[in-house]
Structure 1
């Protein structure tokens, strides 16, 4: 007796189904982008364009003392957080001792080879 109820779809049927789903999703209505405009933006003047050469000629930007101290403070905070995370033990109690024993056994096995 053939078991037709539980036979998986063949590759052709799966491909056809995938193409059908993708094709139907292409018919989806998308919201109008103009409806998302800020009120009054349609009447605003067009922005003034400037030459890129004028922007590239100036001196290279330098970090100010405030920026440097802000970044250094963030670095110190992240290093402190990393140190706290290194001290956290994850797993059941006594896992460190078990890991130490396993590492010793692995070292002994490597030495025996």
Structure 2
């Protein structure tokens, strides 16, 4: 039987390898639209990279394979968690957003 410290060291090493894998983009497109007809396309948004929206009376369509969080402020800092699942749209105050995965 192996000593406990050796088992813990192996487990810690495995966790380090798993967590060292870089995060990948959410494949697909996030489409923003404003009240006055402007549009912006974000291709393959990187996880947790904040993107500015158009603010009040705007929309976001999630054509990625991951969930997107929408924030009312322009810096992705407000503690209001408003998820948009793949294939869904959200209309309202799209101040900013980022992909979760």
Give the TM-score taking structure 1 as reference length. Answer: 0.28
Larger Rg: 1
More strand by share: 2
Structure number with higher relative contact order (C-alpha < 8 Å, ≥ 6 residues apart): 2
Give the TM-score taking structure 2 as reference length. Answer: 0.31
